[in-house]
Chains A and B, each alone.
Chain A
Amino acid sequence: QVQLQESGPGLVKPSQTLSLTCTVSGGSINSGSYFWSWIRQPAGNGLEWIGRVYSNGDTKYNPSVKSRLTISVDTSKNQFSLKLTSVTAADTAVYFCAVSGSLYHFDSWGKGTLVTVSS
């Protein structure tokens, strides 16, 4: 089964850019069978899907963050990444990467990484 691991800074200053990477193991990000998503969870709150990328670079974003979000894929490193610009305290959350098939239920998740937006 595919395994995922998030990495990136745990602290970002307001107005700056939040950057995270998800490293995929146990399968190829370029297999063509999978879609790669980012999902976040503010402390004590529910889950918000924020966007996904396919191996060819095709993306879908949640309108709630679309103007600030870029998700990209690096097939040579078996990784995909998230960049969220102009962050505020409202972007503080645990960020998960996850994988789905063409039916978008999430079969595997990373363990999650906490990102705090604070000066």
Chain B
Amino acid sequence: EIVMTQSPATLSVSPGERATLSCRASQSFSRHLAWYQQKPGQAPRLLIYGISTRATGIPDRFSGSGSGTEFTLTISSLQSEDFAVYYCQQYFNWPLTFGQGTRLEIK
């Protein structure tokens, strides 16, 4: 099983600033990495797939990058609606696995 480790667990950032969230995989893979946003009481929403491709309707302030075992989600200028929990997910190997999440909170 590929273990996905996200850091930090909680990130405090001011609106308008940049947020950088990290996700590390226990083994290397290419392309098969997605990011989701989850707000309280809601289902996760797909943001990014294939490491860097934005899903339909996702603003371009969200970007993904990385390779091998290290991946990053960057939110370039935080809006109030971006404060949420973010999860990475690998779909390279079975079973599909998620990171434990990063909570992005208002500073």
Taking Cβ atoms with an 8 Å cutoff, the residues of A that contact B are 37, 45-49, 60-64, 96, 98, 100, 103-107, 109-112
Chain A residues closer than 8 Å to B87, beta-carbon distance: 46-47
User: Chain B residues with Cβ under 8 A from A110's Cβ?
Assistant: 43
B43:A105 contact, CB within 8 angstroms = no
Residues of chain B at the chain A interface (Cβ within 8 Å): 1, 32, 34, 36, 42-46, 49-50, 55, 87, 89, 91, 94-101
Distance in Å: Cβ of B11 to nearest Cβ of chain A: 16
The answer to whether B43 and A46 have CB atoms under 8 Å apart is no
Within the assembled complex, what's the spacing in Å between the Cα atoms of A46 and B96? 13
A48 touching B94, Cβ below 8 Å: no
Q: Which residues of A contact B96 (CB under 8 A)?
A: 37, 49, 62, 104
Whether B55 and A63, one on each chain, are in contact in the complex, defined by CB atoms closer than 8 angstroms, is no
Q: Which of B1, B34, B42, B43 has the most CB of A within 10 A?
A: B43
A-B interface pairs (CB < 8 A), number: 56
Taking a contact as CB atoms under 8 Å apart, the answer to whether B91 and A104 are in contact is yes
Q: Tell me whether A96 and B43 are in contact in the complex, defined as CB-CB below 8 angstroms, given that A47-B98, A49-B96, A49-B97 are known contacts.
A: yes
> A60-B95, A107-B46 given. 14 additional CB < 8 A pairs?
A46-B98, A46-B101, A47-B101, A49-B95, A49-B96, A60-B94, A62-B95, A63-B95, A64-B95, A98-B43, A104-B32, A105-B89, A109-B45, A111-B43
In the complex the two chains form, is A112's CB within 8 Å of B43's CB?
Answer: yes
In the assembled complex, the CB of A9 is this many whole angstroms from the nearest CB of chain B, namely 20
Set of chain B residues within 8 Å of A107, measured between Cβ atoms: 46, 55
